[in-house]
Structure 1
Amino acid sequence: MIKVLKPGVQLTIQDFGRIGYRHLGVSKAGSLDPCAQLIANRLLGNNDNDAVLEVTVGLCELEFNCDTVIAIQGADLQAKLDEQPIYPGWTYAIKNKQVLSFATGRAGLRAYIAVKDGVQCPLIMGSRATDLNACFGGLDGKALSSGDCIPIKPFNGPFIKMGAIAPPQRKIIRLHPSPHAKLLGKTLLHSFTSGKFKASPNSNRMGVRLVNNTDNLMHTHSLPSVAVNPGSIQLPPNGEPIVLLNDGQTTGGYPLLGTVISADLHQFAQFRAADNIEFEYVTLEQAHRAQHKQNAHLHQLSLALNNSNNKK
C-alpha cells in the first residue's frame, strides 16, 4: 500500500469517471486530464482506466510500503524519489519504504501517478473515481489526508524503463457553437472569442472561472435549467464565464457560450491563474479532425510500447 505522509493541496483517487448516470444527477468525476492518466497507465502496461492518483499543485509526500513500478504524467511538479529528481513521462521502479514527494511547478497544475495494476479501491457505479461533492468513490469519498493508506498490489517483476510525450498544450481552445447563439447575439459572442481570459483562483474540479478586464459579456438573460456536461461554458449575468469540469452539476440555468471540443477539454486540468486563455469556434468536421489527431498520438504510443515489449 501507499501511506500518505502529506496530502498537499488536493490529492484524490481518479479514473475516467462515471458514465451514464447524469440523468440521476450523478456527476462524472474522474481525472481532469484523462490523456495524462491514459499515457501513465499505458507506460506500465495497465488498462487505460486503471485508477491513478491526481496531484493538484503538488506539496505532497507518499511512502510506499511495498515494491512497485510507477509512471508520472501531466504537470512537472518537481517530483523526487528519496530526494532524487524524477520526471513526468517516465516509469520508475519503487522499493519498499521509498518516499515520493512533490514540490510545485510554474507550468501546469496537476500530475498523475499510475502504479502497476492501478489503485485498488472499490468500484462504485462502475468507477473508482472520487466524487468530492457527493462524498463517495475513491477512499471514503474524500480528498486524501495524512495517514491514509492507499491499497495497491505489490510488484517486483521486470519492466522496461519507458518514456512518452504528452499532447502539446494549447492556449486557444476550440469550441462547438453555442446553442444559445441567437439569444446572446453576434456582438457578445464576438467579444467572447476576441477577448483574452485568465483562470480565476476561484476555480476547482467543478469548473474553471474565467476573468478579464472588460464587462462586454454582462447580460440579463434568464433561462429554464438545461442539461450541461463537462466542457459546457456557462455565462452568468456578471459576464465571467465558467467552464464546467468533471465535478460540475448536471443542469444549469445560465445561457451557454458553447462547449469545449473533446480534444481540448483536458487542457483545463493544467491552466493556472496566470495563464492566458482564448477561444475560437470550429465546425464539427474540425472537431473530429482534432480528436483524430489526438487519437493518432496515443495510438503511436501504443505501437511504440508494443514494439519495445516484443524486443524483450
Structure 2
Amino acid sequence: MTLTILKPGPQTSVQDLGRDGYAALGVPRGGACDPLSLRLANLVAGNAAGAAALEITLGGLALRFDAPTVFAWAGATMGVTLDGVALSPAHRYAAAKGAVLRFGFAEHGARAYLALAGGIDVAPVLGSRSTGLLAGIGGFKGRALCAGDVIECGEAEPRLPGVAVAQAERGEHLRVLPGPDWPLLGQDAQRQLLRTPWHIGLASNRMGMRLTGTAVDVASASSLASHAVMPGCVQLPPSGEPIVLLADAQTTGGYLRPLVVIRADLWRAGQFKPGDTLRFVEVDTAAALAATTAQRDWLERMRRALAWEGR
C-alpha cells in the first residue's frame, strides 16, 4: 500500500521511537517528540507501539491513499478530515482508494501522529526508521516530506474501524527534577526558574524549545566544560532564558543543567508550540517514578484491551 503526499505542511517526517545506544558516537536518539501519542496512534491502528508513523508538526498535511487502508491519528488537535468528513483523535478509521486525508493547522498542541496499519515501510538506519533531519539520515530519503512523495506502508492484518480510546491531557506544566547543576544557582535564581511563566519562542524546533521570559541571573554560576545531555534536559545559557531539549537534542553541551523533565512528561514537552506558556513544577524522585509507572500501566492496559478487540 502506498500514499501520496499532496501538501506536506510546515514539517512532516517519518518517526518511530528513535535510535538507542549511539549517543557515544554523537548520534542523537531522535524519534517522535511526543512518544506517547505515537504509541497510542500505533496501538489503535493495530501496530506495535513503536512502529514508524508520520509526525505532523503544526498541521497542514494533505495526502491521498493509493489503496484501501486502516489508520489512526493522535496528538495535537488539528481539525482532521477524510474526504471532507471530520475525524476524531485516537479512533480507528478505514479509507478507500483515492480518499484524501487533510490536517488543519494546530489548535491545541504542536504535533500529531498518523499511524497506518502495517507501519511506514522505509529502510532502518542504525536500528531505527526515524528521520534524523540534521544529519540527513533515516526516514524518507533523510528529509522532511515534500509534495509528490510516495510513501510505502507495510503489510497488515485486516482491522475493523470504529475502535476509539481517550487521549491523555497535556496541561500547561512540565514536572521536573533538580538537574546536575541545580546547586550552582543561587536561591533567587532557583525560585525564579520555577515560578516564571515561560513562553515558547519562535526559534524552537525538534532539537529544543527556546523559552522567553524574565531572564534568570546566572552570573554567579561557574562556567562548565562540555558534558552529556539528552532529551528532557533543561539548559540555562548565559542569556538566562532556558532551553528544553527535545528528541533531536545534541549529545553534548556546555550550558548549565539546572532541571531535568521527568520521563513521564517528555511527551508533554513535544506538544508545546510557539506562543504557548509553560511552568516548571518541581517533584521528587518518588513522584517521578510513580508517574512513569502509571503511564506504562496505562499504555499496557490500552495494548491489552486493543489486542483483545482484535481477536
Report the TM-score, using the length of structure 2 for normalisation.
0.95
User: Are 1:62 and 2:63 an aligned pair?
Assistant: yes
Q: Is the 8 A contact 2:159 2:310 kept in 1?
A: no
**Deviations, residues 48-72 of structure 1 (Å, cap 9, x unaligned):** 1110000011112101111110001
What does residue range 75-154 of structure 1 map to in structure 2 within 5 Å? 75-153=76-154
Distance in 1 (alpha carbons) for counterparts of 2:33 and 2:179: 23
**Match for 1:293: what amino acid?**
A
Deviation of residue 226 (structure 1)? 0.4
Cα 1:199–1:48 change in 2 (3 A) is same
1:217 corresponds to: 217
User: What SS is found at the alignment partner of 1:109?
Assistant: strand
Distance in 1 (alpha carbons) for counterparts of 2:215 and 2:77: 35
What does residue range 1-312 of structure 1 map to in structure 2 within 5 Å? 1-153=2-154, 157-212=158-213, 214-219=214-219, 221-310=222-311
Q: Is the 8 A contact 1:233 1:244 kept in 2?
A: yes
Distance in 1 (alpha carbons) for counterparts of 2:217 and 2:168: 31
Distance in 2 (alpha carbons) for counterparts of 1:276 and 1:88: 23
**Match for 1:150: what amino acid?**
I
Distance in 2 (alpha carbons) for counterparts of 1:234 and 1:278: 15
Cα 1:20–1:156 change in 2 (3 A) is closer
Q: Is the 8 A contact 1:223 1:254 kept in 2?
A: yes
Deviation of residue 307 (structure 1)? 3.6
Gaps of 5+ in 2: none
Q: Is the 8 A contact 1:22 1:250 kept in 2?
A: yes
**Match for 1:304: what amino acid?**
A
User: What SS is found at the alignment partner of 1:189?
Assistant: helix
Q: Is the 8 A contact 2:206 2:249 kept in 1?
A: yes
Deviation of residue 188 (structure 1)? 1.0
Tell me the number of residue pairs that the alignment of Structure 1 and Structure 2 aligns: 309
Gaps of 5+ in 1: none
Report the TM-score, using the length of structure 1 for normalisation.
0.95
User: What SS is found at the alignment partner of 2:27?
Assistant: coil
Distance in 2 (alpha carbons) for counterparts of 1:209 and 1:255: 14
Q: Is the 8 A contact 2:70 2:159 kept in 1?
A: no
**Match for 2:216: what amino acid?**
N
Cα 1:86–1:270 change in 2 (3 A) is same
Distance in 1 (alpha carbons) for counterparts of 2:26 and 2:248: 11
Q: Is the 8 A contact 1:68 1:155 kept in 2?
A: no
Distance in 1 (alpha carbons) for counterparts of 2:132 and 2:7: 21
Runs of 4+ in 1 over 4 A off after TM superposition: none
Q: Is the 8 A contact 1:66 1:154 kept in 2?
A: no
Cα 1:229–1:156 change in 2 (3 A) is closer
User: What SS is found at the alignment partner of 2:180?
Assistant: coil
Deviation of residue 171 (structure 1)? 1.9
**Match for 2:210: what amino acid?**
R
Deviation of residue 187 (structure 1)? 2.0
Deviation of residue 191 (structure 1)? 1.0
**Match for 1:237: what amino acid?**
P
